[in-house]
Amino acid sequence: MLSSVLVFAFERPPIDWHAIAPELTLLGFGALLTLVDVVWLERGRAISSVLASLGLLAAMVPVLTLATDGADRATFWGAYVIDDYSLVMKAVFLLAGYVVVLLSTSYIAEGDYWESEYYQMLLSAVLGMVVMASARDLVTMFVALELLSIPAYLMATWRKRDLRSNEAGLKYYLMGVFASAVLLYGMSLLYGTAGSTILADINAAVSDASDGTAPLAVVTLGVIFVIAGFAFKVSAFPFHTWAPDTYEGAPTPVTAFLSVASKAAGFVALLSLVFVGFWGRSDVYQPLMWVLAAASMFGGNLMALRQTNLVRLLAYSGVAQAGYMLAPLAVAGESLTTADDALSAVVTYLAIYAAMNLGAFAVIIAVARRTASAEIDSYKGLFHYSPALAVAMTIFLMALAGIPPLGGWFAKFEIVLALISPQTPWGVALGVVVALNSVIALYYYARIASYMWVEQASAEAGFDTVSPIKVPTSVSAALVLTGAATLAFGILPQWVGHFTDVTLLATLPS
């Protein structure tokens, strides 16, 4: 009797368990971490980072089995889609999360921080990203966004006795909540016109708007608000203002996480929205993306020129990098081939960017163990006393600048390729903007390189500038992983290009 009432009240949707296995694995390990913490108390601390990294790697297994299986899956009435695109992004999130755990291990263990909770938060945030990669529905998307944002707000304040860390978290939280509000307002407008939260239905509704069946202004406003909401997340100019302060104040491994994984999650949402939800309204999103991209590139790069702190510099360079990634979306609607080129370009960029940016932060973490600072001045003469770290940093910075044969060149190349491919004046113009900006960016990356190689460490630096810096094993592992990926992606780009050659348009009615 009771069971029949329950069945009446709640009809369980058909669930494809294989499809959501990566998410369940992450959830399971997160719960396990909590249990270990509750049962073993302090004794559980030691294994918490191991458990977290095991969880992230274990979640890779179902991702791989789904990839070899090859079939696209949709579950929860089309709100949740597993295709090549979402699998590639899930793999990027999981591996980036794994590298962040490697970076955090010694940092969190050595400071007076809550350890087990930190990894629980991290797994929860990664879970949000992994869900985001499959979300094809506004509500799922919003839940995924909050699932990744709320732990991230907390992690930013993890150094709770440090004023800057508190400032970082608070700023991030306030800006993030404001962005969520903007986003929700936009979503409500779209739901109002489409009568559905599924992106494919929204596409049908917004595409028809031009012939008068839906109020044009409302749809346009909805599209703009939703894109602006995610522009906060990816720290595109002029929605970037939280990034430098938050990056500087947050614990460095968390900064690495925010600058790579959470930015990538924002992009995943933007991509799903543009290529599925707003596909028919290229007249709205294309100019918007053009302006956002150009402003982010110029704004980020010009402000990065004046920075004296490496983390802040990377925050601004991250704004510019977001600009490069937004650029292909400004031409995405020109044709179906261009759309595929643009999507592949952004996905490629995200994968390569994850490797090189995490690598740069790994070096920052390693160097800060000696210098206790991220001021660019403290990098003077690094090459003379710690040549391996200096070479690694040079590789990552030059990769970010896009100098062949390091990974970044192929990422930028794919972007420019996508911009030129439709052969429109606006596309070519943005291609020129990308080219000019890579020259501006080179200036500040090369300046850091010459600090490390050319200058001598000053005698009154206040730290040992003779013996090489000792790097913890886990950070070394992160350096090797990201360094190998950065080099491999540059020399044999086919390795990454093969995986990122994806499409989202197959799900659309042509």
Partner 1 sequence: MTDFLNDWGLTLVIFIPLVGALVMLAVPAVEHQALKRLALLTSLATAVVGALLLLDFDYGAAGDLQFVVDASWIDVINSRYIVGLDGISLPLLALTLVVVPLCVIYSWDHVPDPGNPKAFFILMLILETGMVGTFLAQDLILFFVFFEVVLLPMFFMIAVWGGENRRYASIKFFLFTLFGSALMLLSFLALFFLSTDPATGESLRSFDMRLLSDLAGAGILSATQIWIFAGMFIGFGVKVPMFPFHTWLPDAHTEAPTVGSVILAAVLLKLGTYGFVRIAVPMLPEGAEAWAPWIGLLAVIGIIYGALGCLAQTDMKRLIAFSSVAHMGFVMLGIATLTDFGINAAIFGMVAHGIITGMLFFVAGSVKERYHTLEIRRLGGLLTQAPRLGWILGFVSMASLGLPGLAGFWGEFPAILAAYSPADGLPVEVFRTYMVVAAVGTVLAAGYLLWLLQRTAMGKPSEEFADSDEIVDVTRNEWISWVPLLVGILLFGLLPGLIFDVIDPAVVNLLATGAGG
Binding site for partner 1 (CB under 8 A): 344, 383, 387, 394, 398, 403-405, 409-410, 413-414, 416-417, 420-421, 423, 428, 431-432, 435-436, 438-439, 442-443, 446-447, 449-450, 453-454, 492-494, 497-498, 501
E strands present in 229-368: none
Rg of the chain taking only CA atoms, in angstroms: 22
Determine the 3-state secondary structure of 279 from DSSP: coil
In the bound complex, what is the minimum distance in angstroms from residue 211's beta carbon to partner 1? 33
Q: Which lies closer to partner 1 via its Cβ, residue 200 or residue 390?
A: 390
Q: Which lies closer to partner 1 via its Cβ, residue 277 or residue 427?
A: 427
In the bound complex, what is the minimum distance in angstroms from residue 427's beta carbon to partner 1? 11
In the bound complex, what is the minimum distance in angstroms from residue 64's beta carbon to partner 1? 21
Q: Which lies closer to partner 1 via its Cβ, residue 254 or residue 504?
A: 504
Q: Which lies closer to partner 1 via its Cβ, residue 174 or residue 436?
A: 436
Amino acid at 223: V
- Closest Cα partner for 210 from 104, 282, 119, 305? 282
Q: Which lies closer to partner 1 via its Cβ, residue 142 or residue 409?
A: 409
E strands present in 158-243: none
How is residue 76 written in tokens?
């929860």
Instruction: Report d(CA 128, CA 343) in Å as an integer.
Output: 21
Q: Which lies closer to partner 1 via its Cβ, residue 367 or residue 441?
A: 441
- Closest Cα partner for 199 from 187, 214, 213, 183? 187
In the bound complex, what is the minimum distance in angstroms from residue 316's beta carbon to partner 1? 18
Q: Which lies closer to partner 1 via its Cβ, residue 337 or residue 473?
A: 337
Instruction: Report d(CA 219, CA 368) in Å as an integer.
Output: 49
Instruction: Report d(CA 190, CA 226) in Å as an integer.
Output: 9
In the bound complex, what is the minimum distance in angstroms from residue 303's beta carbon to partner 1? 18
In the bound complex, what is the minimum distance in angstroms from residue 219's beta carbon to partner 1? 33
In the bound complex, what is the minimum distance in angstroms from residue 332's beta carbon to partner 1? 16
Are 317 and 441 a contacting pair, CB within 8 Å?
yes
In the bound complex, what is the minimum distance in angstroms from residue 333's beta carbon to partner 1? 18
Instruction: Report d(CA 196, CA 390) in Å as an integer.
Output: 53
Amino acid at 130: V
DSSP state of 10: -
In the bound complex, what is the minimum distance in angstroms from residue 404's beta carbon to partner 1? 4
Amino acid at 466: V
The residue whose two tokens read 């917004």 is 206
Amino acid at 44: G
Q: Which lies closer to partner 1 via its Cβ, residue 65 or residue 494?
A: 494
In the bound complex, what is the minimum distance in angstroms from residue 430's beta carbon to partner 1? 11
Determine the 3-state secondary structure of 435 from DSSP: helix
Are 33 and 51 a contacting pair, CB within 8 Å?
yes
Per DSSP, the residues of 384-423 read HH-HHHHHHHHHHHHHHHT-TTSTHHHHHHHHHHHHHTT-
Instruction: Report d(CA 267, CA 278) in Å as an integer.
Output: 15
Instruction: Report d(CA 373, CA 387) in Å as an integer.
Output: 19
Q: Which lies closer to partner 1 via its Cβ, residue 109 or residue 417?
A: 417
Task: Give the largest Cα separation in the chain, rounded.
Answer: 82
Neighbouring C-beta atoms of residue 388, cutoff 10 Å: 16
| Cis preceding-peptide flag for 22 (omega within 30 of 0) | no
In the bound complex, what is the minimum distance in angstroms from residue 318's beta carbon to partner 1? 21
Q: Which lies closer to partner 1 via its Cβ, residue 175 or residue 430?
A: 430
Instruction: Report d(CA 410, CA 403) in Å as an integer.
Output: 9
Q: Is 214 left (phi over 0), alpha (psi -120 to 50) or beta?
A: beta
Q: Which lies closer to partner 1 via its Cβ, residue 52 or residue 406?
A: 406
Q: Which lies closer to partner 1 via its Cβ, residue 207 or residue 438?
A: 438
In the bound complex, what is the minimum distance in angstroms from residue 263's beta carbon to partner 1? 24
Sign (positive/negative) of CA torsion 316, 318, 321, 327?
negative
Q: Which lies closer to partner 1 via its Cβ, residue 248 or residue 414?
A: 414
Are 329 and 415 a contacting pair, CB within 8 Å?
no
In the bound complex, what is the minimum distance in angstroms from residue 361's beta carbon to partner 1? 22
